[in-house]
Each structure stands twice: as C-alpha cells, then as structure tokens.
Amino acid sequence: MKDRYTAEELHSRMVATVGVLLGVVFAVVVIGFVYGLLFVSQPMEQAPNDKEFISLMATIVTFLSGTLAGIVASNGMKDKPKK
C-alpha cells in the first residue's frame, strides 16, 4: 500500500502544478500576441473591440506575471521541514 503524502509534499506539488499551469497560460497568451502582431495583417484603423480586447489581455498578462513572481518568491520562504 502506498504511503500518504506529507503536508510539505502536498504543498510542493500544489505550488509546482499551479506554477506550471500559470506559466503555460502566460506563454500561450504571449505567443498569441506575438503571432497576432507579426503574421496577421492589421487594418490602418484599430477597431474599438480590438482595442478593448488588447487592453484586457494586457491586464491578464500583468496579473499572470505578478502571480508567477509571487509563487516563485514565496516558495523560498517555506517553513523548515519538521523532523
């Protein structure tokens, strides 16, 4: 029978999973932005809907980068493992 995970092991797995998922979402959004800027032809006048969408995506990317930085920074402040 498999042993149960300790609290530290569960916490480290959760941090790793959340970090990887946020990193993947961040990468997909940034790659989508770059693809849209480089390979999709744009009209001379920007549509209001496009402007609002870009503003929303910029806010999401800012939030994701802050969250990723917080996860990485707080990972070093863990409690010392108990003996």
Cα–Cα distance for residue pair 57/49, rounded to 1 Å? 12
Segment 15-67, tens digit of pLDDT: 888 888 888 988 898 898 888 878 888 778 887 887 888 888 888 888 888 88
Q: pLDDT-based confidence at 9, cuts 50/70/90?
A: confident
State residue 20's pLDDT score. 87
Dihedral Cα 59, 63, 65, 68, nearest 10 deg: -160
**Which residues are within 8 A (CB) of 15 and not within 5 positions of it... i.e. 6 or more apart?**
71, 75
Model confidence, pTM: 0.68
Residue type, 41: S
Cα–Cα distance for residue pair 61/14, rounded to 1 Å? 22
State residue 41's pLDDT score. 81
Q: Is the pLDDT of residue 1 over 80?
A: no
Q: Is the pLDDT of residue 74 over 70?
A: yes
